Amino acid sequence: MEYRQLGRSGLKISTITMGTMTFGGVGWAKTVGDLGADDARRLVDICIDAGVNLMDTADAYSQGVCEEIIGDIMDKPRRDKMMIATKARFAMGDGPNDAGLSRHHLIAACEASLKRLKTDVIDLYQVHEWDGLTPLEETMEALDTLVRHGKVRYVGCSNFSGWHIMKALGIAEREHRQRFVSQQIHYTLESRDAENELVPISIDQGLGILVWSPIAGGLLSGKHRRDRKAPEGTRQFAGWTEPPIRDEERLWTIIDTLVEIAGARGVSAAQVALAWTLGRKGVTSVIIGGRTEDQFRDNLASADLKLTDEERGRLDAVSQPWLQYPYWHQRNSASERLGEADLALIAPYLEGK
């Protein structure tokens, strides 16, 4: 297992992070999985044995049941080897202040997560989604308070846009608050939107990138193929809609290429998709999940899979999106003065310019 530094922090995390959304099975999360404590404990041990040192959860997963299961199974030997990241923002009750990124909700949510997780400190506390009604100054102050009080070690964000992140980092610098060390984003061969702003920001501002749903909810696992119905038991069979598919033909072309490369290498398509993401600029770790031991073991194997330049080139070619404005204009008019963060997006489009 390789370990990478998380943003500008001194923390090193495994390139594979253990996802836990399949724990619990309450409410909307039942579509993803409904594993109990015994299954969860066995999967945690498999990940620890493979060298994984971070697990990711959220209070909203199964309305807190997921965190409760983690609290029940993470005895001291396991906790000493595995850090815990969790998230807050979504509704955990029916009251007007039971959601969002207000000081009121964040501090209450953190204390509730600590209790469910049966731990004294959360290693990485992430705001789960943007809240346009709460001033960012209030959110950053609340996160800073949690760190200063020893309840949280590091803070990060998830599902923020580029300007949201830059505004938050600016406030943190101006007011001497704790700054985000990472962002958790969706970034796959099928969905490369993050390359426009979020990846360059991470490179320029020193943020680690954790990738959620790195095989697109199972779409890139190789189980889904052109002109076939979604296999029974998969998220898509149950009506899962993340990520949204805007170009179905492009998706099938990507999957065809994944399956071809995987077949030639004697590995799964999921491993190839994960290896591609792990090799992208700025990416620190991918969050893997699953319902079974086989799924976890297969995904864990991607940590050791190194794709060739030719394989990466094929995958890049079938998945490369259109270059949006103002980036196509920068490609045409500013290519001689682009920095490292700019080139993370624009470099592939410069060939043959």
What is the set of active-site residues?
A: 61
State how far the Cα of 191 lies from the Cα of 162, in Å rounded to an integer.
16
**Considering only CA atoms, which of 137, 186, 125 is closest in space to residue 161?**
186
Report the distance separating Cα 216 and Cα 28, nearest Å. Answer: 17
User: Over the range 239-275, which residues count as b (16 or more CB within 10 Å of their CB) and which as e?
Assistant: ebeebeeeeeeebeebbebbbebbeeeebbbbbbbbb
- Spell 297-315 as b/e; 16+ CB within 10 A means b: ebbbbbbebebeeebbebb
Looking from the CA of 236 toward its CB, the CA atoms found within 13 Å total: 17
How far apart CA 229 and CA 212 sit, in angstroms, is 25
Number of other residues whose CB lies within 10 A of the CB of residue 115: 13
| Alpha carbon distances (Å) from 262 to 192, 250, 287, 309 | 21, 18, 20, 15
Distance CA 99, CA 64 (A): 14
Q: Which two tokens stand for residue 111?
A: 């204390």
Task: Give the CB-side neighbour count of residue 128, counting CA atoms within 13 A.
Answer: 21
Which residue type, as a one-letter code, is found at position 190? E
Q: How many residues does the chain have?
A: 353
Structure tokens at 309: 């330049």
The answer to whether the CB of 243 falls within 8 A of the CB of 217 is yes
